[in-house]
Structures are given as structure tokens and as C-alpha cells.
A and B are shown apart, each in its own frame.
Chain A
Amino acid sequence: MAGKTIVCRCNDVTVEEIEALIDSGVTDIEEIKRLLRVGMGPCQGRTCIPIVISILARKTGKKPEEIAPPKARVPVRPVRVEVIVGGADE
């Protein structure tokens, strides 16, 4: 198996991919999230966001205090669609 350093397990995003995107000029965490889909998988950023913030702080010279985490939305964890809309299979 090829060596990779994974930041986001849900969407298989590596440190290199995040660094390359920041180097290309994208330094807004909401934009990084949308372009690479970090924090948009089933864990909703529980594992990756602190690492993304520390990479961003290191690359931009900002303090972690200055980088707000991406917005958290409902549902905060995966829910089966039929649970929300009803459904009659049970």
C-alpha cells in the first residue's frame, strides 16, 4: 500500500492535497471544505478539522484562534433518509 498521510478519513484527503490547495491561494476554511470535501463526510469533520486548522495556521502564519471552524449544520451526524421522510418498510 502506498504511503499516505490522511487528514480526512471519510473523503480520503491527504496532507499533501490540503497543502497544495493552500499553496494555490485558497486559504478560507469554508472554501477548502467545499473544494476537497474535508468535513463533509459521515463524521462531519470530527477527526479532520483540527488538523486542517493546524495546517492552515502553519501555512498562513495565522493563529488557530483566528481560524473559525466551518459551520456545523443539521443533521450533525448521518441519518437514513427514510427516517426523516417517513417510509413504510418496517
Chain B
Amino acid sequence: MRLNEHPVLRFERGREVTIYFEGQPIKAYEGETIATALHAAGIRVLNYSPNKKRPRGLFCAIGKCSSCLMVVNGIPNVRSCITLVEDGMRIERQHGRSRLPTKAKPPEFKDAKVVKADIIVIGGGPAGLMAAIHASRAGAKVVLIDENPRLGGQLVKQTHKFFGKREQFAGVRGVEIAKILEKELRKSENAEVFLETSAVGIFQEGEEKLVLAVRKERELIEFRGRAVIVATGAMERMIPFENNDLPGVYGAGAIQTLMNTYGVKPGDRVLIVGAGNVGLILAYQLIQAGVEVKAIVEAMPKVGGYFVHAAKVRRLGVPILTRHTILRAEGREKVERAVVAQLDENWMPITGTEKTFEVDVIALAVGLRPSIELLHQAGCQIKFVRELGGHVAVRDGWMETTVRGIFVAGDSAGIEEATTAMLEGKIAGIAAALRLGIADESWVEEIEKAQRDLDEFRSGPFGRRVAEGIRKALLGGVAGE
């Protein structure tokens, strides 16, 4: 199941280690996650659900959906998709909820570690990296935290070359952009990075912002600063259909993580749901990795993504069934088949049009929604904007939300592209430094330049819809539909 040859990617694996799954030794490599190593060994079922005892596996693969919880070294509820393997680790499937220990010592109070900075950036994807780079260049002391084991966010699995201008990395693959940005940030003496660190709350204490975070699930850290930039990205959308929780039903991004970041084949035969750009690019990437794509189904009458991507996929022999939807997944402990059907004008399946595909993976490429939990919890005004993928934080042109000192950038501000996420990150980073009185006025020009670049990028047919959404999300902007 491991990929050793790939037309675009080279997989650098760490030292070989042994982990134990339900007592059985399994070969793994340092630097990969538990779920990755188990998947490479053919293990799809990671836990059984609490009430209905249903088998569950990966879904989002970036630590958000909690479908991958396992018992690791005796500790339950470990997110196996973002926890790295360690030599000798003991891993068991979790069966429902774990019982609390019957005997426990009263805990000893201990002060949390405190890390101080001017600006705290949450999220190390394209938006967060650019925010941190520019805030530190503008003179601010910056701390960037991310719950994943590596920086780059979703860039680390983008094998395609970017569009746009040269300064926006046109012609460079996403995975390379991640490396360039990380190198740039690591050069700064003003910036510090905390990986495997989850932010769990944002508080105001006097003039200070406090971001409460947990590193490696065991160390509490208080990040204290005067501004916070939330760049927490997005979450894969799930859709309702029969057995939509069967292991093997994966978010498109999860498949990219397995295949492009860790070099593990997601399966042998795939049905993709959704013919937007993500679904189309995923089909191409699967074929590059030697996986058969049986078909792409799309509920809309037309393909949603760029024509060039659709044409490429069709040339490779993948049928795109528009006006079709998935009815159900079938299989005992994991996906063995997918049943699809044609839709009528009222979006109802037409009896007699069912088709069955023998697949072991169903990829859901049905869109993303902004990850706004921290913004919502911190009291930022939230608004539903369909064009931006769901609920987003209301903000001004400098990406500051309705809570002073809390900024937002990237997909967590509205679903768009990595290129626009980088521009928004740059704006938020500089704006935070300006509003704290750290950066001098000459930096305003840089913000205006980035705003012009954003407008230009959004002037195309796809961008116009987003631009309409942004107008609704702007402070004092147009009312919702």
C-alpha cells in the first residue's frame, strides 16, 4: 500500500520503527502519523462508535472530525490522524467511550507555561505563515502555533502548480510553496513556532489576549499577546447518505494527506463524489499514484470545476456522471461497493437508474466550511454567507473582526484558494502590527497592494462569486440574502 514511485513527489521517510496494533507488530516510519502507518498496513477500522457500535475510520485526516480516535499507550481519545508514531507505541481500537479511572490521585496544581509575544498566529497554513512572516518583518514579535506535526497546512499535499502572478508563486507546486514559506519564517529572529499545539480558547485579560493551548495533548501553554490572527483553515463537508460513516468514506483532503504527504495508497478503486476543482484534481492525483478512479458523480447538471481539469480527467477515461448522486455505501466493516443514481429536476433519485461500483474508497469532494470555532467562542460576530462556504466572521478591509485585536485570514475567513489565503494572511499580519503601533505607516502601502492583488484575483468568473460573499461579510457590508 506504500507508494515508492511517483511522477511528481519523492517521499522521504524517517527511521523505521515498530508499533504494536492490538499486540501485533507493524512497521512504521518516524515522521508519519499513527493512522497513516495503520492504513499502510491495511487497517481501516480505527474504532467502534459509542452507541450504535459502528466501525469508523479516517475522515478528515487533519485532526478536526474526531473519527479516528484510538487508545494509544493506554490513553483513550487520541486523534490518530495527527499523532506521530513512536517506537514501541501500543495502539488499540477504541470501543465507544472510555470509562473514567475509578482510582485517581487528586491532581497537584501546577502553573501553565507562559509564552509572550506581540501577535499570536493560530494556524500554520498559507494564511498563517504569510501573516507570521509579514508581522515579524513589520517588527512584531510573533508566535505561530499549529496542531499538525508539520507546517504548511493543506499546501503540503498540493501537487499541482499554482496560477496567478510570479510573486504569488505562479508555476510553483503547493508542496514547494509550503517549504519556501517555512524557510522564510524560520529565518526570522522575531518568530517562534509551536507544532502539535492545539488552541482551545481565546480570552481577554485586561489589555492582553490569552490563547490557551495544549501541546502534544499533555502540556498546557498560555500564549499571551496583544493581537491574535486566526487562520485555522477549513473542515471537509460531509453529506448524508446511507452508511456515510463506513471506513473508506474519506474526505478528499484526507486522501491527499495519505497519498501526497505520506505516500500511502488510499485504496485500489475509488468513486469520487463532486466534480468541482477538488474532485477533478483529486481524480488526476489518484491516477498519478496508480489508483483506479471508477467515476465521478456530480449532482449539478454541469461540472463545477475548470474545464481544463475536467477535460484532462475525461481523456484519462474517467466518466463524469452529472445529475447523479450517491445513494449508499455498502460493505461489512469497510467500503466494498457504492450505489449511485440519477436525479430528477427536484433532486430526487430516479428509480431504476441505480448503478453499482465495486470500490473500496468513496471520496467526498463536496466542499469545505470555514473553521470558525475559536472566533465564535471569542465573541466575534458570525454571519452565514453561502458564497464563502457557511458561517464566517464579520471583518473590516484589514481582516480585523468585530472583537478588537482578533484578525482572521485564509479559509477560516471564507473558502477560497491558497493564493488568496496568502494575500489575506499578509494583510492581517501587517494590519495587526500597524494597529498595535509596532509597524510604521509605510506598511499601509503593502496592505493596499495586497488588496489590489486580491481584487484582481477575484475578478474572474469563480472569483466574482467570492467577491460578492466578501461584500456581505464586510463590517457594515450588504445584508445577507
Residue ranges of A at the interface with B (Cβ–Cβ < 8 Å): 1, 3-7, 9-12, 15, 41-44, 46-48, 50-51, 63-65, 67-69, 71-80, 82-88, 90
Q: Are A9 and B109 in contact (CB under 8 A)?
A: no
CA–CA, A10 and B52, complex, Å: 11
Q: Which single member of A10, A42, A51, A76 contacts B374 (CB below 8 Å)?
A: A76
Contacts A3-B242, A12-B51 given; does A88 touch B77 at CB 8 Å? no
Cross-interface CB contact of A6 among B218, B245, B331, B383, cutoff 8 Å: B245
- Measured as residues with beta carbon below 8 angstroms from the partner, the interface class of chain B is 35 or more
CB distance from B141 to the nearest CB of A (A): 25
Residues of B within 8 A of A79 (CB): 200, 214, 217
Output the nearest chain A residue to B373 by Cβ-Cβ distance: A76
B49 and A9 contacting across the interface, CB-CB below 8 Å: yes
Are A76 and B200 neighbours in the complex by a CB distance under 8 Å? yes
- Let me know if A12 and B65 touch, CB within 8 A: no
- Contact, CB under 8 Å: A88 / B105: yes
List A contacts of B199 (CB < 8 A). 76
**Known A1-B332, A47-B238, A84-B220; 19 more pairs at CB < 8 Å:** A1-B55, A4-B52, A5-B243, A7-B240, A10-B50, A12-B52, A42-B69, A43-B66, A46-B66, A46-B371, A69-B376, A72-B376, A73-B377, A74-B212, A76-B373, A77-B198, A77-B373, A85-B109, A87-B107
Task: Spot the interface stretch: B265-273, B384-392, B400-408, B437-445.
Answer: B384-392
Cβ-based interface call for B319 (8 A): no
Contacts of B244 in A (CB 8 A): 5-6
B323 to chain A, nearest CB (A): 20
Interchain nearest-CB distance for A51 vs B (Å): 6
Q: Are B382 and A68 in contact (CB under 8 A)?
A: yes
B52-78 residues with Cβ-Cβ distance < 8 A to A are 52, 54-56, 59-60, 64-67, 69, 75, 77
Chain A residues near B207: list those with CB within 8 A: none
